[in-house]
Amino acid sequence: MITLYGIKNCDTVQRARKRLDAEGIAYRFHDFKRDRLSHELAQRWIDALGVDAVVNRKGTTWHKLDDAKRAGLTTTDAAALLAREPSLVRRPVIDRDGALSVGFAKVDEDAIVARLR
């Protein structure tokens, strides 16, 4: 089973969903705004991929954080922060039976889709 995690209004998430739909790849969409993000799931992603891969440091939510929170972000407190502020997650996160990928860069799109088939 494939689960695509993200925010429905995010351009990258919209592009990923459109591409998966066009390819006929079935998935379940988990919208962070509606369904939230659990601390446990965020921690699993961080353990598997690392903080740097999961946290979106380019978005507005990151830049709105105070300097102390940004500077002090560690593996131990990142999951709690992501659960409180799911907009900080680099999107989309795609989980195919436990195999995770983060992001949907145009340059990587074909390779990501191929792995999901």
Q: Which tokens sit at 16? A: 């990923």
Options 7, 10, 20, 93, the catalytic residue:
10
Residue that the structure tokens 């992603």 belong to: 45
Q: Would you call the peptide bond into 86 cis, given omega within 30 degrees of 0 as the criterion?
A: no
The reply to whether 10 belongs to the active site is yes
Helix axes 75-84, 39-49, angle to 10 degrees: 140
- Which residues are part of the catalytic machinery? 10
